[in-house]
Each structure stands twice: as C-alpha cells, then as structure tokens.
Amino acid sequence: MIKLDDTNYRHRDLNWLSFNERVLQEAEDVEHNPVYERLKFLAIYSTNLDEFFRVRVSQLRQLKRVKKSVRKQLSLEPNKIVKEIKKTVQEQQERFGDIFRKQIIPELKENHIHLLTSKDYNEAQKEEIDAYFKSHIKEHLEVRTVATDTDESIFLENQSLYFCVRFKDDKQIGFVNIPSDKIERFITLAQNNEEHYITFIDDIIHTRIKELFPDQTVRAIHEIKMSRDAELYLDDEMDGILADKIYASLKQRHQGQPTRLLYDASMSPEDVKSLRKLLNVGKVDMMPGGRYHNFNDFFSFPDPSGNADLHFKKQTTIHHKALEDSEDYFKTIREKDQLVHFPFMTFNYVERFVAQASTDLEVTDIKISLYRVADESPLTTALLKALENGKKVLIFIEAKARFDEKNNITWGRKFEEKGAKVIYSYPRIKVHSKILLIRRLEDGKKRNYVYIGTGNFNAKTSKIYSDHGLFSANKKIGKELNRVFRVLDGELIVPRNKHLLVSPFTTRRTFERMINEEIDHARQGKRAEIRIKMNSLEDKEMIRLLYKASQEGVKIRMLVRGFTSLVPGVKGLSENIYMTSVLDRYLEHGRIYHFHNDGDEKLYIGSADWMTRNLDRRIEVLVPIIDKDCKNELKAILDIQINDNCKARIQNAKEDNTFVKRDTDAVKIRSQYAIFDFLKEQHT
C-alpha cells in the first residue's frame, strides 16, 4: 500500500484544465458533432476559460499576497500553479486556433457559408458594410488616444473587446472599443448564387481604423481583451442585509484587478511591452491568443443556410407516463413517487405542479429554494399567483450565486412586494439545494408534497443540463424537508433527519459511514461496490477514504464530469477505482450515489458534489430513492452512463483524456442517446 501524502492529490485548478480540454475534444469530434455544434463547443471552451481566469486564477493571485512563511506552511505555491496554468492554456489556445481555422472554417465553406475577414470584401460587400457601419456601428464607438509616457494607466472594461492601434509615432497608442455588448457580433451579408457570407463587426471596424485616427499614420492594429477579478470582497458580512451589500457591490465586477490580458499573438514584443506597462498588467497576466477574442459570441453565430444537417438532430420530448396526462398531481404523487429526467422530459412538470398548487383550495403553503432564478417564467408566474390566492409562500433566494446575484435579488424584491416571505443568503454559507415543499390540508391534517432535484428551478437550463428530480409524498421525507425549510427560516438550528442527507449537518458523516460499511463488507469477503456520479471531486477527507476503500478491495466506479483531485488507477493506492468523464450534447449535471450495502442497496440523488464547500459550507439536500420502480429506472440510467463507449474519457494518472476503447464487435453506446431510447421505452 502507498502511504498518503500531498503527491496523491491533484491540484484542482490544473485538473480543471484537463476538463476544459475535453470540451476541445468535442470541438474536434467530426464523427459525432455537426459543424455548428463543434463551433458551440469552442464557445463553451472560451466561456469556461474566461470564468476560470476571473475566479480561480484571481484567487491564486490573492494567495500570492499571503506571507511566504504562511504559504510554505500551508503548502501553497500560487506562483508555480499560475505558471503551469499559463503554459497549459497556451498549448490549448494553439489547438483551439487550429480547430477554428483548419477544421471549422473549411467545413463551413464546404456548406456554402463563408466567414469573411476585412481582406476578403468585394466592391459590393464594401458598399454594404459601409452603410452598416454608418447606420449601426459608428454611434457606439469610443475612440481614444493615450500617451505612452503618461503616469496614468488607461482602464479597459471587463470582458470588453478593443482594438489596440499603434502609430508611426510610438509615443501614442490608440484604443477603439468593439461594441459587441450593444450590437450583434456578426452580420450576414447579401447572398450570392446560393453562397452565404458572414463577417465580424470587428472586421468592419478594422477597415475604418485609419479614418478614426485621421491625424496619425497607423502601422499596426491588434485586438485585445481584459478579464478582471469576478469575486466580490465584502467587509463585515455580519452587519446589515447581505443581499443589499451584494447588490451594491456588483459594480466591483467591472472594476476588479486584471487577471488576464488576451492579445493578438502577432503583436510585436515591443508593442506588447508598452501595452503591458500602460495597462499596469503583470507579465504573468499576459496571454497571447488569436486574431479574434470572446468566442462565447459564437453561441449566436448565424446560419443563413437553414441546413438542419449542420446542427444536432432535434430530439422529441418524452412524455412521462404518469405525469403527462395527470389532472391531479397530488393524487398521482400520493399513489407513487415519480422521477423526471431533463432534458429528455420537460421542466413543465415542475411548473405545472406549482401552478396547480397556486390555485388548489386545500394548499396552504409553498416553500422553495431558488439558486438561479430564471427570467419571467411559468414558475415565477405560479408563485406570484399563489400569493394572489392567499397562500403562504416562503422563498429562499441565494443572493451569492455567482453571476446571477443581481437577477436573484431583483426577483426576491418582486416576491417580497407581493407578500412572500423572502430569505436571502446567510453570511459564509450558500444554499445550493434544489428543494420544493407544498403543504396541503387533507382529512384535517397537513400533508407534505416534495420535489428534490439535482438541477436549478430553471426551464432554460433544463434544456441543456442533464438532471434528475423526484416528486414524492413520502411522509418521512416530507417531514424532514419541512425541517430543512424551518432551518432556512431560522426556526430551527439543526434539522433532525434520518432519511434526507443535509449539508452541513449529516451528509459527510453519512457518506463516510456508508463507505466504511463497504470496507467492512470487503474485509468479510462479501461483494463491496460503490458507484458514484458527480460534477467535481475535491474533498481530501472523502478522497482519503476512497483510497482506503480501494486498498481494502472495494470496487469503486466513478463518473466525474469536471475536475477531480483523486488520482485513479494507481497500483497500491487506487487500483480499484475506475473513473471516466462523459461530455456530449448536454451538460452532465446530475449527482447519483449508489452503495451496494451487501444487497440492501442505497441510492441517493441531490445537489451536492464531494467538495468541501458542498459538505461543510453549503445547505445541500440529497434524497434516498426508495420506490422500487424509481430505483430501477435510475440504476438503469447509471448503468448506461457507466458503459458509455463513445463519449467517455478515462481519467488516469496521465490526465491524457483517452477515450474508452470499444471492441470491434461491441454495441455502440452513446449514453445520452441510449438514455433517451431507454426512457422513451419506459414511458411509452
């Protein structure tokens, strides 16, 4: 057996880059992904990386401020990690550019779609873009000239695009914004002989740079983008209303310190140096890139061809066999627990449940936790309707859900104005659980109906996130979930619960107990097996226990979509741990925990990954799957995902993202499509 030390754990940020590489692999997958979908994966990669620099790299920068003696004591090496991140990202960016230029652009041309640069315009197109520039772009431009020897640094807005313009007179630098936040990034030009033409507004502006600086001789034009710290540093969190503090401090997002300056790699070293000095950016924060930045705009890249073959084939929506035609959800759920699976089924089942409750004369209370509130939707409409009808509505809104703070708080205030009891974030703890409780008078007593899911109450994300949710009228589960809401409401300090796993109270110790029980079974020569699906694995105590279980002979099968600090498949340490990651059409977001338990299987779904924050610093809820049919359905789904041999990558010590090899005569299993087929059969 290998003795544990810090070398047995991966650094989460370095391994996260391995996850983002898997997104690049999807952009390269010509066999399974049509060209527009591969373009979207490039957009996903870019968006992921932006957030990574704004949050994770920003935190590493903060660690650099900690005294060196303290960093050494805590085994913190932020400088080393940032350098490794930069090296890996640079390699991935080069690969990114090759995918875009050598694969995507040529395939678009093959399908009669041409992405034109400023050098490609013919005379007719020049006239067209000239008219577009005058009518749509010019009014949004901000043109500035700055002296290079000035003592004041120029401020670039977070995530905004600019042209950096160098003149023959090196004592000045010009800046022009690219207003992609105000107008569409791409425009479709006139069609010609069934050929379609699209161009960036960047290129249109590029053709006008000389006339924007009429008194200068332009010698170089390069696109740049600044990313800034996304964290909100709040002092004295315990004072005042936390939601108000967050709302007031959102402007810091646009004024935070630089975490990355992305610039065109063709820029000369001398120009890079003077730009860095002018913007007051450190060397480690300079990142060379391609000609264009902000590839997240490619989510809205137009398709003038209307060719359906360039996109994923639309999947029909599976109708839930019990809920689809139910006119009384309370009766249907009383009779039997019901599982729903997104995006294969519609989120409308959840919305209809709340809508029915809002008008049901016997419903007295609706309680819900909202982590990311959607824009106006059937769910928010139903909650407002419930208030109109005199229901008691308690809504917990997580004001600290990163990048959704403003929208969450805005909706919280709307609900408050209509009479809801709205509770906002607690200091130093997030409420990440996806829980709904509806209380109804039946035979003179209140009965609890619950919905507990792995994903947000958000119809939009339910179409792209792969999640699960349980409807239940189980009395024990309903009673315990009501206690959780009483904790959120401040009536209880600790919820007593035997069935639900609730962080930070019982989740960690219950999982530890179940792992130790599997270890005991292995020692007794019994079958010992754990199967887990989650987004991220970072908690060292849980990893240490999994290593111990592996060393004792417990068979551990893991699906981890994102990053992992556990190193699987190491002889003497984790040789009984086999881990894969599935990336495909939908974002795998569901958490499933399955313990063999000597034949008396335990199966849970919920909102918690095995990260320290999810176990110790967040309110999380996981629910046991008790109903036999629901348990068999969920186990079958987990089996399909575990046996994926199309989109599964093996996670090993090399971190090379090798695809699972499929035997020549093996059945092809692309799990997301196989799950669709399975559910369609189950619910027909």
φ/ψ of residue 471, rounded to 5: -95, 135
pLDDT on residue 281: 86
What are the residue ranges of CATH 3.30.1840.10 in the chain? 6-310
* 432 tagged catalytic: yes
Checking if the pLDDT of 34 tops 90, the result is yes
Checking if the pLDDT of 231 tops 60, the result is no
Higher pLDDT pick, 240 / 134: 134
Summarize the annotated binding site as residue ranges: 48, 372, 402, 465, 561, 589
Higher pLDDT pick, 656 / 53: 656
Strands (E), 274-376: 286-289, 338-342, 363-370
pLDDT on residue 43: 96
pLDDT on residue 232: 45
φ/ψ of residue 363, rounded to 5: -75, 130
pLDDT on residue 601: 97
As assigned by CATH, the class of the 329-497 domain is alpha beta
Least confident of 189-193, 232-236, 262-266: 232-236
Kindly give, in sequence order, each residue whose CB lies less than 8 Å from that of residue 256, ignoring residues fewer than 6 positions away: 54, 58, 158, 228, 229, 230, 231
pLDDT on residue 474: 98
pLDDT tens-digit readout, 470-502: 999 999 999 999 999 999 998 888 888 999 999
Checking if the pLDDT of 236 tops 80, the result is no
Checking if the pLDDT of 672 tops 80, the result is yes
Higher pLDDT pick, 600 / 152: 600
Q: Which residues make beta-bridge pairs with 264? A: 289
pLDDT tens-digit readout, 309-339: 999 999 999 999 999 999 999 999 999 999 9
222, 293, 320, 432: which is the annotated catalytic residue?
432
Alpha helices in 7-139 (DSSP H): 12-28, 35-52, 58-63, 68-73, 78-98, 105-110, 123-132
pLDDT on residue 662: 85
- Percent of the chain at pLDDT > 70 equals 91
Give the helix, strand, coil percentages of the chain, each rounded to 5. 40, 25, 35
Mean pLDDT, the chain, integer: 90
In order, the DSSP letters of 440-489 are: EEETTEEEEEEEEESS-S-TTGGGTEEEEEEEE--HHHHHHHHHHHHHHT
pLDDT on residue 235: 40
Higher pLDDT pick, 158 / 536: 536
Closest CA to 554 of 572, 525, 576, 569: 576
Rounded to whole angstroms, how far apart are CA atoms 372 and 58? 23
Distance of CA 152 to the CA centre of its chain: 37
Checking if the pLDDT of 290 tops 70, the result is yes
At 63, the pLDDT band (50, 70, 90 cuts) reads low
Checking if the pLDDT of 271 tops 80, the result is yes
pLDDT on residue 66: 54
Higher pLDDT pick, 406 / 30: 30
pLDDT on residue 427: 63
Rounded to whole angstroms, how far apart are CA atoms 449 and 471? 7
Checking if the pLDDT of 64 tops 70, the result is no
Checking if the pLDDT of 241 tops 60, the result is no
pLDDT on residue 663: 85
Summarize the annotated binding site for Mg(2+) as residue ranges: 372, 402
As assigned by CATH, the class of the 503-682 domain is alpha beta
Is 522 in contact with 528 (CB distance < 8 Å)? yes
CATH ID of 6-310, from 3.30.1840.10, 3.40.50.10300, 3.40.50.2000, 1.10.150.120: 3.30.1840.10
- What average pLDDT does range 204-208 have in this prediction? 96
pLDDT on residue 180: 93
Kindly give, in sequence order, each residue whose CB lies less than 8 Å from that of residue 83, ignoring residues fewer than 6 positions away: 284
CB atoms within 10 A of CB 416: 14
pLDDT tens-digit readout, 348-403: 999 999 999 999 999 999 999 987 776 778 999 999 999 999 999 999 887 655 55
What are the residue ranges of CATH 3.30.870.10 in the chain? 329-497, 503-682
- What average pLDDT does range 297-311 have in this prediction? 95
pLDDT tens-digit readout, 176-201: 999 999 999 999 999 988 999 999 99
- Cis preceding linkage at 495, omega within 30: no
At 412, the pLDDT band (50, 70, 90 cuts) reads confident
